[in-house]
Amino acid sequence: MPSPRSLFDKVWETHSVRELPDGQTQLFIGLHLVHEVTSPQAFAMLEEMKLGVRYPQRTFATIDHIIPTDSQLRPLADDLAEEMMVALERNCREHDITLFDSASGRQGVVHVIGPELGLTQPAMTVACGDSHTSTHGAFGAIAFGIGTSQVRDVLATQCLAMEKPKLRRIEVSGKLEGGVYAKDVILHIIRQLGVKGGVGFAYEYAGPVIEAMTMEERLTVCNMSIEGGARVGYINPDEVAFDYLRGREYAPTGEAWDTAVDWWRSMASEPGAPCDDLVTIAGENIPPTVTWGIHPGQSAGVNEPIPNLSDVPDADRPAFAEALEFMGFRPGQPIAGTKIDVAFIGSCTNGRISDLREAARVAKTGKVADGVRTLVVPGSQSVAREAEAEGLDQVFRAAGFDWREPGCSMCLAMNPDKLQGREVSASSSNRNFKGRQGSPTGRTLLMSPAMVAAAALRGEVTDVREVL
Amino acid sequence: MASIVERVEGRACVLRGSDIDTDRIIPARFLRCVTFDGLGEHAFEDDREQAKGDHPLDDERFAGASILVVGENFGCGSSREHAPQSLQRFGFQAFVGASFAEIFAGNCTALGLPCITLEPNDLEALMDSVTLDPSQQVVVDLVARNLTYKGGSLPAGVRDGTRKALLEGTWNATRVLLEAGDSIDTRAATIPYVAGFGAA
Ligand code: SF4
């Protein structure tokens, strides 16, 4: 009997072109996704080296970070943003790369459109100049965020020089309680393992809680692997993934579909496949989770207080003090009841249709509290269309939410959507770093989209289970 | 071929704190650009603004430093190469810390900037020494795998692959990857989805 192997090992081997002299692996990249922020310099480097794009048909581009969400009309009001847009259009044209722009009807956040178009498939290697590329691992792909020089490498060679990380399996056992979402699961994992716990590891998420998740929930979990320090996070492909993919624009069809499913199945981790580390997390113990600090590991259950200094390990105390000072919180203070100024629903973590449905379910129960600014930003044009067809936009509008055009928006505020001054934002995005949402002193509380909607209605951090 | 990086020598600047993320190194609004030129002056802009001149990058005693000494998990967060690009343009040619976020470290290697790690006690000693006497010469030596300062010589951690790439001047990976030639396409042809799962 051959010994059982993990998906990770199998995908790595299938895509390995050769061992490099420095000990790294030259890995073939099956899907390269490109966006406007990290690519212009890569194309310029390519030109400087007098090289072309090796596999333009395996490269797809979209525009997400800089696009305004009030109107996508050109030219963009921001000259710098317009210049980036023009550069991407020119680069894609000159190199025969498919660009999903506003006119295509398929534009959206790169990690939302890859899955929904069926571009992302099991057992692929995926790279993108964006750290949340780990999202695509939800299909059992091995997906890496890369820097601009590596974008150049992939454009020129369709390969990356990679050191193989170790593998940690994270099993989430039991089941989740009502009102607890995929976002809470990943925030809880990061809280347990720390923001650097995953450095040097690929994460394989497994166990009953993960297996019971829909594809969109799995995308949320894998998306935030990088917040736990792991560059890669994946879930073994199963019927849930196949059902999601069937019939999507770029998914295989006919006989090729059956061949594909057989191959995908054969690539999943086999029972007993080795891993370098195993962590088990009890699903029942996961509460709706909210961050109170300045990195995604600084979080608490919504009904728990912010820790006291005595609860914090010595090594983490300086970071703890810095976080509380920046956020203006006291040790031991409850997180529920924190007043918010802004509610942001969207991003590649939680800007998909199921996220909007859950948030709308909450929105239906009331009206946005006085003085709270809101942004509901669908992850893609396709999500927007689907939501509008279901009338979700009307539900949000009726409750006083601002319904916007798709893009990254206030996840990182490279477009006009920004916090002002010390505003506090309840956000369904993935990072609560200082300055992340556009104001150097702005404050971000990460939580599930349903929790954001609840906070918008009450004007303060609220346990969504009280509202539902 | 890229240049060979064997050692980085110069004065150091101490930036304490762990989990310093890429949004702090270079705030997102400066990513609205199509070249990396001009990013140097915006390194840590918001942190420096809030520190009102009291930030290590504005400390005259550290002016002109070529080695940045940091804490744990430096460069976590986004994949933006703008972060090491801005620090390089600010004048840093090497980073010394307790640990580095992976994508950040990879981006540094791709720019020929070594990231080396020290044991916690050694790092603390180096930070204290440089803070007391910022004028001292610090040497990061990749050949000897150590760091030398006033207090002596400390063993430096660096990944074998990274070290080799820097020492052999192969840190611009594109050239190295291209050397695989047709074997890239030969490999690709064996991957079921690249071959279209047997469909025409
Ligand atoms: S939504 Fe946020 S995290 Fe996702 S790609 Fe856009 S900016 Fe990055």
Report CA(A171)–ligand 1 centroid distance (Å).
26
Q: Where is the domain boundary, A139, A162, A185?
A: A162
Domain edges within chain B: 7-157, 159-195
B199 vs A23: CB contact, 8 Å cut-off?
no
- Please name the residues in contact with A99: beta carbons below 8 A apart, sequence gap of 6 or more: A60, A61, A62, A63, A88, A89, A92, A93
Dihedral angle at the C-alpha atoms of B101, A46, A53, A67, nearest 10 degrees? 60
CATH number at residue A358: 3.30.499.10
Burial class (CB in 10 A: 0-12, 13-18, 19+), A91: buried
Amino acid at A252: P
Report CA(A113)–ligand 1 centroid distance (Å).
12
List the single residue in A with minimal CA-CA distance to B35. A41
What pLDDT shows up at residue A43? 97
Report CA(A409)–ligand 1 centroid distance (Å).
8
Four-residue CA torsion sign, B39, B44, B50, B55: negative
Residue B2 per-residue DSSP state:
P
| A301 and A436, same domain (yes or no) | yes
Q: How far apart are CA A449 and CA A391, in angstroms?
A: 18
Contact A232, A137 (CB under 8 A): yes
Residue A341's domain comprises: 289-467
Give a yes or no: residue A2 inside a domain. no
**CB < 8 Å to A148, chain B:** 80-82, 107
| A263 and A353, same domain (yes or no) | no
| A53 and A15, same domain (yes or no) | yes
Q: Which of A38, A84, A186, A347 to mutate to test the pocket of ligand 1 (most atoms within 8 A of CB)?
A: A347
Amino acid at A135: T
CA angle A117, A123, A124 (to 5 degrees): 60
CATH number at residue A261: 3.40.1060.10
Query: What H or E segment, with its residue span, contains residue A8?
Result: helix A7-14
Q: What is the mean pLDDT of chain A?
A: 97
| A68 and A170, same domain (yes or no) | no
Burial class (CB in 10 A: 0-12, 13-18, 19+), A447: buried
Q: What is the pLDDT of residues A325-357, one digit of tens each?
A: 999 999 999 999 999 999 999 999 999 999 999
**CB < 8 Å to A17, chain B:** 180, 183-184, 187
Backbone angles phi and psi of B131, in degrees to 5: -65, -40
Structure tokens at B29: 């609004």
A148 vs B81: CB contact, 8 Å cut-off?
yes
Q: How far apart are CA B118 and CA A403, in angstroms?
A: 50
Closest residue CA from atom 6 of ligand 1: A408
Report CA(B29)–ligand 1 centroid distance (Å).
14
Q: Where is the domain boundary, A270, A285, A300?
A: A285
Four-residue CA torsion sign, A68, A69, A72, A74: negative
Structure tokens at A323: 């976080």
SS3 call for A19: strand
Q: What is the pLDDT of residues A123-168, one digit of tens each?
A: 999 999 999 999 999 999 999 999 999 999 999 999 999 999 999 9
Residue A340 per-residue DSSP state:
-
> Which stretch of B4-13, B128-137, B175-184, B191-200 has the lowest confidence by average pLDDT?
B191-200
Q: Which of A220, A409, A412 to mutate to test the pocket of ligand 1 (most atoms within 8 A of CB)?
A: A412
ipTM: 0.95
Q: What is the pLDDT of residues A369-416, one digit of tens each?
A: 999 999 999 999 999 999 999 999 999 999 999 999 999 999 999 999
- Rounded to the nearest 10 degrees, the angle between the axes of helix B82-90 and helix B102-110 is 60
Q: What is the pLDDT of residues A210-227, one digit of tens each?
A: 999 999 999 999 999 999
**CB < 8 Å to B199, chain A:** 252-256
Confidence of residue A315 (pLDDT cuts 50, 70, 90): confident
Q: How far apart are CA A437 and CA A343, in angstroms?
A: 12
| A316 and A455, same domain (yes or no) | yes
Short-list A449, A465, A269, CA closest to A358? A449
Q: What is the pLDDT of residues B109-140, one digit of tens each?
A: 999 999 999 999 999 999 999 999 999 999 99
Kindly provide the residue ranges of all beta strands, DSSP E only, lying in A41-134, ordered along the sequence: 59-62, 98-100, 125-128
CA distance A84 to chain B (A): 6
Q: Give me the residue from B84, B165, B188 closest to A22, CB to CB.
A: B165
| A265 and A294, same domain (yes or no) | no
| A234 and A137, same domain (yes or no) | no
The rounded percent of chain A whose pLDDT value lies above 90 is 98
The rounded percent of chain A whose pLDDT value lies above 70 is 100
A433 vs B106: CB contact, 8 Å cut-off?
no
Atom of ligand 1 nearest to the CA of A429: 2
* pLDDT reading at B1 higher than 70: no
List the single residue in A with minimal CA-CA distance to B27. A435
Q: How many CB atoms lie within 10 A of CB B1?
A: 10
Q: What is the pLDDT of residues A221-262, one digit of tens each?
A: 999 999 999 999 999 999 999 999 999 999 999 999 999 999
B174 vs A49: CB contact, 8 Å cut-off?
yes
Architecture in CATH of B7-157: Alpha-Beta Barrel (3.20)
Dihedral angle at the C-alpha atoms of A172, A173, A179, A180, nearest 10 degrees? -20
CA angle A380, A381, A384 (to 5 degrees): 90
> Which stretch of A74-78, A445-449, B93-97 has the lowest confidence by average pLDDT?
A74-78
Q: How far apart are CA A310 and CA A428, in angstroms?
A: 30
Q: How far apart are CA A245 and CA A234, in angstroms?
A: 16
Report CA(A412)–ligand 1 centroid distance (Å).
7
Give a yes or no: residue A406 inside a domain. yes
Q: How far apart are CA A360 and CA B34, in angstroms?
A: 38
Short-list A227, A236, A234, CA closest to A131? A227
Which residues is A344 bridged to in the sheet? Answer: A375, A427
| A355 and A326, same domain (yes or no) | yes
| A23 and A124, same domain (yes or no) | yes
Task: State the total domains in chain A.
Answer: 3
**CB < 8 Å to B160, chain A:** 22-23
What pLDDT shows up at residue A21? 86
| A141 and A206, same domain (yes or no) | no
Q: What is the pLDDT of residues A9-28, one digit of tens each?
A: 999 999 999 999 888 999 99
Q: Region B83-111: what's the mean pLDDT?
A: 97
Confidence of residue A468 (pLDDT cuts 50, 70, 90): confident
Q: How far apart are the first and last CA of chain B?
A: 40
Q: Give me the residue from A65, A147, A229 closest to B76, CB to CB.
A: A229
Give a yes or no: residue A314 inside a domain. yes
Q: How far apart are CA A265 and CA A270, in angstroms?
A: 10
Which residues is A18 bridged to in the sheet? Answer: A26
| A413 and A456, same domain (yes or no) | yes
Confidence of residue B199 (pLDDT cuts 50, 70, 90): low
The rounded percent of chain B whose pLDDT value lies above 90 is 96
Report CA(A414)–ligand 1 centroid distance (Å).
10
Indicate yes or no: pTM above 0.80. Answer: yes
Q: How far apart are CA A109 and CA A16, in angstroms?
A: 29
**CB < 8 Å to A15, chain B:** 187, 191
Give a yes or no: residue A1 inside a domain. no
SS3 call for B79: coil
Task: Write out residues with Cβ below 6 Å of ligand 1.
Answer: A 64-65, 109-111, 130, 132, 347-348, 408, 411-412, 429-430
Contact B172, A149 (CB under 8 A): yes
| A195 and A136, same domain (yes or no) | no
Short-list A126, A122, A2, A138, CA closest to A60? A126
Confidence of residue A6 (pLDDT cuts 50, 70, 90): very high
List the single residue in A with minimal CA-CA distance to B81. A147
Q: Give me the residue from A17, A147, A165 closest to B81, CB to CB.
A: A147
Short-list A106, A102, A113, A107, CA closest to A74? A102
Q: Which of A65, A107, A219 to mutate to test the pocket of ligand 1 (most atoms within 8 A of CB)?
A: A65
Q: Give me the residue from A28, A37, A66 closest to B188, CB to CB.
A: A28
CA distance A95 to chain B (A): 17
A41 vs B35: CB contact, 8 Å cut-off?
yes
Give a yes or no: residue A236 inside a domain. yes
Q: Where is the domain boundary, A119, A134, A162?
A: A162
Report CA(A225)–ligand 1 centroid distance (Å).
14
Long-range contacts from A249-253, C-beta under 8 angstroms, 24+ separation: A249/A117, A249/A118, A250/A117, A250/A118, A250/A119, A251/A118, A251/A121, A252/B193, A252/B196, A252/B197, A252/B199, A253/B199
- Count how many pairs of residues, chain A against chain B, have C-beta atoms within 8 Å: 224
Distance of CA A129 to the CA centre of its chain: 13
Closest residue CA from atom 2 of ligand 1: A411
